[in-house]
Structure 1
Amino acid sequence: MAVLHNRVSNKELKQRMLDSNEPRTTISFYKYHRIEDPQAFRDELWKGLTGLGVFGRIYVANEGINAQVSVPTGNVDAFKAYLYSYEWMNALRLNIAVDDDGKGFWVLKIKVRDKIVADGIDDPTFDVNKTGKYLKANEYNELAKSDDTIIIDMRNHYEYEVGHFKNAIEVPSDTFREQLPMAVDMMKGNEEKNIIMYCTGGIRCEKASAYMLHNGFKNVYHVEGGIINYVNQVKTEALEQEFIGKNFVFDDRLGERVTEEIIAQCHQCGKPADTHVNCANDGCHLLFIQCAECEEKYQQCCSKECIEELALPEEERKEVRRGRKMDQNVFNKSRSRKRLDGTIGEV
């Protein structure tokens, strides 16, 4: 049987990508659709996309597909034709990245999951296909003006922190599965109001809109294609920009600049900053916001302890890391988390 995965080291693959002058385009897409044999579909997809030079991260489950990929720009049309050859993906909306050099991925990973978005829902009567109404950018701008409209951000805290729609409400929980019931509880008493939900590319807010309808809310909407599609439509149609700051993305870029406003702060000194980094100490790898001054001062580490650990010989670092329990710091999703000074509280 053919081995349907990569045999070259991740480090070498990344260097190959960085050394290449081939232009690439970052594209994200998703589709809720019943897939009877996700593993067989995964293997078929891997062969087809590998032949087109596609890199990226794709999740496949019985409920559908969720993908963020980097495609050689010259192969974008062939990539679309390949996806559209599947009847259920024909004319699928593809979100083109906003601020991008195409080098966010250097390997293709396709994984089979229980769900493309983990939601914790075990109610057999819930139907993910009974969603709220899509809103195009101009429709969002108009509806957002109404006093009867509530805007809900269905992303994690570290995403909301660097950029969000004006007047959007954050749902401060650690996971999407916790956000769903929390959003319902937060909105009790507003069943007749306009509820607009949004996320990065549309996949979370689409499921969230279905869950809100399932729980008795009447007028539920979600931004079609999420922030990425909204921003592209605003540019194309010369509309008023209602999203401020940066759009966090889950690839090597860690963010797309949308507007020049910097609405977050450096987690080490408190100065205005919105650049996410991972601690240079692989034994920590904390995701946090760091300004240029602190990056130099702390050598892209989150603390003096990590600087000291990073300076140790590799074998000593391995000993220090051995048995260490990694916690939610790597991708912390709530406002309540460990500060970089070691205390606990809001960041």
Structure 2
Amino acid sequence: MVLGEAAPRGSAEGAAAGRKQRAAARRKVGRGRGRAGPRCNLGNEDARRAFQAFSLFVKAKEVPAASRCPGGGEGVRWRCCRQAFEELPGIHRHVALHHSGDVGRQAGLGAAPAESAGGAAPAGGSARPGGRSCGSPEIAWALPDTSHVSHDDLTSQVGDVLLYYCYCEVRDPEKLCAWQKALCQHLHLTGKVRVASEGINGTVGGSKVATSLYIKVMLSQPLFKTTLCQEDFKSSAGGAHCFPDLRVGVFKEIVPMGIDPKIVSYKETGIHLSPQEFHREVEQYLSQATQGQSDTILLDCRNFYESKIGHFQGCLAPDIRKFSYFPSYVDENLELFKDKRVLMYCTGGIRCERGSAYLRSKAVCREVYQLKGGIHKYLEEFPDGFYRGKLFVFDDRYAICSNEDIISACRYCGVLWDQYKLCSSQHCRQLVLTCPACCNKGLTACCPVCQEKELKVTSRASGQILKEECECTRRRPRVPIEHVSPRMLDTGKY
């Protein structure tokens, strides 16, 4: 047979050539089968990194369980390149055939351009997961090795809840988001992670082994190496059961203040004080306040329902429902802060980063300080310090305790009580403090409107449900104006 000619159909030579072609095709496709991912001539360490990158890439293409077929079958489990895959071998073959270059680059192996049905990948860069060009080489796509950890240890209900944030410039938030989602799923973590071009903010729960591995991987991530350290992770007893699910998303802000980060940047924040320094400042402030000579405001940046069950002695706690109301609160009460030293605090420190920057932008305060690590870190060092009551947390625990003080009361009978529950009305999400005795009487709603009317709802033609405003929200001004006299400021009694 002349080189380059097709073998005659049905001939022995043609059959042999066909078998060779089919075998070659099977070998090529076989690279995507199984657990390990693409085969390649690599050393042990490179192979491990390649397998991790392959696994991460596949995980990033998973369809959330809630979006799958509700009729009992698994339905679509992965989506990539506008294709749907129901079985693992299918997505493995697809990734091996069309995204080997992406996987190689994520593993840091300098892989060749990805192959596609039409030949080599186009010049000028590769497609990142999701089809966009990769512009953030500082994000390492790596998952921790859990082969030495038993499934029981990785999924144990006895664990921790981590709270952390990191302000830094993120070139590709979606890529960081995909990595975070895959990492949390890999470690069986639940919780909430917000990613933006200004950084990352997360609270996740899982076993002690899983949370320890999570911290280790986060600290080894090149993007965070110079901005995140072990002390930035606040830990408390809990676990994956403290959250209903895992939510990872890309947002404009990592904490929703409602101001464009380009207008008010975290880079213009106040002066950070360690828990020891903040403790001394509060001690001095309270001492001066008792003598009526204070020039300081101790400002709680949290929402009213947080400060209601726990706060620093002598603080000014705005009666706001959301942190996005804080800028308006500052604007409406600028005279209050004029020529004052302001000591700010919040749960973990993140709200103070932007909040102090906004307050400083008004150029009315003499100085603005903030508690580094927030109340969480303060209580680790001063459990019986100047913070009294419980610390509110945004998970199913609602609060964590460091001292025995109860500073709030039951909504109905006034007895001391500080354990929140959700309003019993089906369409209300307000929190309510109702003691066991009142609960036994059926008083389980946040206000009389909810209790008596059970929040009547009407339906629009579009199917949207309208909630009748309850007493809790109707009587609370969106942005309270503080009526504070100079004497009250001097004595710290607001």
TM-score bin (small chain): 0.7 to 0.9
Q: Name the structure 2 match of 1:163.
A: 310
1:141 partner amino acid:
H
Shift of 1:282: 2.4
User: Of the candidates 396, 416, 435, which is equivalent to residue 291 of structure 1?
Assistant: 435
* Structure 2, unaligned runs of 5 or more: 1-57, 69-151, 286-293, 479-494
Shift of 1:126: 3.0
Distance 1:320 1:139 in 2: 51
Structure with more strand by fraction: 1
Distance 1:30 1:5 in 2: 25
SS at match of 1:188: helix
1:158 partner amino acid:
Y
**Which whole-Å deviations, capped at 9, do the CAs of 1:140-179 have from their partners, x for residues lacking one?**
1111123232110111111111111111102223432321
Distance 1:265 1:115 in 2: 34
1:266 partner amino acid:
C
Residue 332 and residue 118 in structure 1: after superposition, are their counterparts in 2 closer, same or farther (change >3 A)? Answer: farther
Q: Name the structure 1 match of 2:235.
A: 96
Q: Name the structure 1 match of 2:396.
A: 252
Shift of 1:334: 8.6
Q: Name the structure 1 match of 2:274.
A: 136
User: Of the candidates 54, 65, 86, which is equivalent to residue 6 of structure 1?
Assistant: 65
Q: Name the structure 2 match of 1:72.
A: 207
Distance 2:255 2:265 in 1: 14
Q: Identity over the aligned pairs, expressed in percent?
A: 27
Q: CA RMSD in A?
A: 3.3
Shift of 1:308: 8.4
Q: Name the structure 1 match of 2:169.
A: 34
Question: Is 1:58 equivalent to 2:196 in the alignment?
Answer: no
Bigger RCO (CA 8 Å, 6+ sep):
1
Residue 329 and residue 80 in structure 1: after superposition, are their counterparts in 2 closer, same or farther (change >3 A)? Answer: farther
Q: Name the structure 2 match of 1:222.
A: 370
SS at match of 1:103: helix
Distance 1:52 1:333 in 2: 43
**Which whole-Å deviations, capped at 9, do the CAs of 1:95-144 have from their partners, x for residues lacking one?**
112x6466312421112222122223258553321211111222111111
SS at match of 1:170: coil
Q: Which structure would you say has the larger Rg?
A: 2
Distance 1:328 1:25 in 2: 37
Q: Name the structure 2 match of 1:340.
A: none
User: Of the candidates 104, 107, 113, which is equivalent to residue 245 of structure 2?
Assistant: 107
| TM-score of the superposed pair, with normalisation by structure 2 | 0.57
1:96 partner amino acid:
S
The question of whether the paired residues in 2 share the 8 Å contact of 1:283 and 1:321 is answered with no
Distance 1:334 1:27 in 2: 35
SS at match of 2:212: helix
Q: Name the structure 2 match of 1:202.
A: 349
Question: Is 1:212 equivalent to 2:351 in the alignment?
Answer: no
Structure with more helix by fraction: 2
Which one is further off, 249-258 or 124-133?
A: 124-133
Distance 2:341 2:316 in 1: 14
Residue 219 and residue 88 in structure 1: after superposition, are their counterparts in 2 closer, same or farther (change >3 A)? Answer: farther
**Which whole-Å deviations, capped at 9, do the CAs of 1:252-304 have from their partners, x for residues lacking one?**
01111232222112112222211111123423343211111111211744478
The question of whether the paired residues in 2 share the 8 Å contact of 1:128 and 1:211 is answered with no
Question: Is 1:176 equivalent to 2:235 in the alignment?
Answer: no
The question of whether the paired residues in 1 share the 8 Å contact of 2:344 and 2:369 is answered with yes
* Structure 1, unaligned runs of 5 or more: 10-16, 311-316, 338-347
